[in-house]
Homo-oligomer: A and B are copies of this chain.
Amino acid sequence: MSAPRVKVGVLGATGAVGQRFVQLLAGHPWFDLAALAASERSAGKCYAEAASWRLDTPIPDAARDLPVLPAEPGLECRVLFSALDAAVAGPIEEAFARAGYAVLSNARNHRMAEDVPLLVPEVNADHTALIAVQKQRRGWKGFIATNPNCSTAALTLALAPLERRFGIKAVVVTTLQAVSGAGYPGTPSLDILGNVVPFIAGEEEKIERETRKILGRRSGDAVTFHPMVVSATTTRVPVVDGHTESVFVSLEQAADLDAVREAFRSFSGPPQALRLPSAPAHPVVLRDEPDRPQPRFDVNLEHGMAALVGRVRPCELMGWKFIVLGHNTIRGAAGAAILNAELLQAQGILAD
């Protein structure tokens, strides 16, 4: 890659996902962190002051003294990673796209729009074709591309190998989600210490819809949802990082255990072929131990960018069942958006 370095910024930089963007972008080989924006409350402060930094590595020097700017066009960068809250993300992201920025959004607002790609680069890199449609239809100089919600990110990585080889008819999934998925301050400790909260607002619908869009087929300018049925129950558990998912899958074609395992193990996609900087060597890591993956021990494998799959075994009812684990603020949020930007850069779309 001899492409010139690209200036990037972060919208919503002070929150939990915003901090993860800043952490992951520090020292990025292609991107220079040039602008940080947040709500008016933080504007005017330097980043170290404005962000109540809550990651277990120090604030990157490159970000520490950057001013926190208002989230409005005028930021000196080409790409904006959006960690904005869904309550405000919609119009702000549109304003930036209209003004010519490439907006890589982690917010849910535009994910389901038919001209906005919902990307998992190993799975549906061709969905970036929607960007041209979007720019034309909306008359924008820039565009919006999105990554899925945190549970869907790992789930679709784990489903894609099965979809490719055998086809998928139906999925039943129960999630055990980490508290970092709820942002900061997010889940009160009185709610979750020694407890399970068997409900996360809006999460089940996101998993059920987004999975079908990501695994959907593009023909020409449009993406058709995959016809599979997805049914989810989502819960919150006292884990810091890492969403665990108990998955039951019904396949179109017969499969045996070796073939299913081989499908997981050999799975690869454009990020690996293109050697994108944030691409995991193995987007799906198959664990053979009887009791893995586990969030506290395994969530950082492949720098948090892989879906870890374990306990693959037949299910008398659905056909197959297994466990999936993904890092919810890396592969499930900031890392996903950065990988999307890298894909777009490699495809020549970022520089348009």
Interface centre among A172, A185, A193, A238 (most CB of B within 10 A): A193
Supposing A56-B296, A297-B54 touch, asked if A231 and B321 sit within 8 A by C-beta, the answer is yes
Task: Tell me whether B195 and A235 are in contact (CB under 8 A).
Answer: no
Residues in B whose Cβ lies below 8 Å from that of A318: 172, 231
Task: Tell me whether A194 and B240 are in contact (CB under 8 A).
Answer: yes
Interface centre among A172, A208, A230, A316 (most CB of B within 10 A): A172
Task: Tell me whether B244 and A316 are in contact (CB under 8 A).
Answer: no
Instruction: Report if A58 contacts B (CB, 8 A).
Output: yes
Instruction: Report if A62 contacts B (CB, 8 A).
Output: no
Q: Closest B-chain residue to A324, C-beta based?
A: B198
Instruction: Report if A229 contacts B (CB, 8 A).
Output: yes
Q: Which stretch of A74-82, A176-184, A269-277, A331-339 is in the interface?
A: A176-184
Q: What separation, in Å, do the CA atoms of A174 and B323 have in the docked complex?
A: 11
Q: What separation, in Å, do the CA atoms of A170 and B299 have in the docked complex?
A: 33
How many A residues are at the interface, by size bracket? Answer: 35 or more
Q: Closest B-chain residue to A187, C-beta based?
A: B189
Instruction: Report if A233 contacts B (CB, 8 A).
Output: yes
Give the residue of B195, B294, B323 whose beta carbon is less than 8 angstroms from that of A295: B195
Give the residue of B170, B184, B237, B291 whose beta carbon is less than 8 angstroms from that of A188: B184
Instruction: Report if A197 contacts B (CB, 8 A).
Output: yes
Task: Tell me whether B317 and A196 are in contact (CB under 8 A).
Answer: no
Supposing A189-B188, A191-B189, A316-B229 touch, asked if A176 and B235 sit within 8 A by C-beta, the answer is yes
Residues in B whose Cβ lies below 8 Å from that of A248: 172, 231, 233
Q: What separation, in Å, do the CA atoms of A22 and B62 have in the docked complex?
A: 34
Q: Closest B-chain residue to A237, C-beta based?
A: B237
Residues in B whose Cβ lies below 8 Å from that of A198: 244, 246, 291-294, 310-311, 323
Task: Tell me whether B189 and A296 are in contact (CB under 8 A).
Answer: no
Min distance, Cβ A205 to any Cβ of chain B, angstroms: 11
Min distance, Cβ A14 to any Cβ of chain B, angstroms: 14
Instruction: Report if A192 contacts B (CB, 8 A).
Output: yes
Instruction: Report if A345 contacts B (CB, 8 A).
Output: no
Q: Closest B-chain residue to A300, C-beta based?
A: B56
Residues in B whose Cβ lies below 8 Å from that of A223: none
Min distance, Cβ A301 to any Cβ of chain B, angstroms: 7
Cross-chain pairs A/B with CB under 8 angstroms, 11 sampled: A56-B297, A179-B190, A185-B190, A186-B190, A187-B189, A195-B296, A198-B244, A198-B294, A235-B246, A238-B239, A246-B246
Q: Residues on A close to B: CB < 8 A?
A: 16, 54-56, 58, 170, 172, 174, 176, 179-180, 184-199, 208, 229-231, 233, 235, 237-240, 244, 246, 248, 290-301, 310-311, 315-318, 321, 323
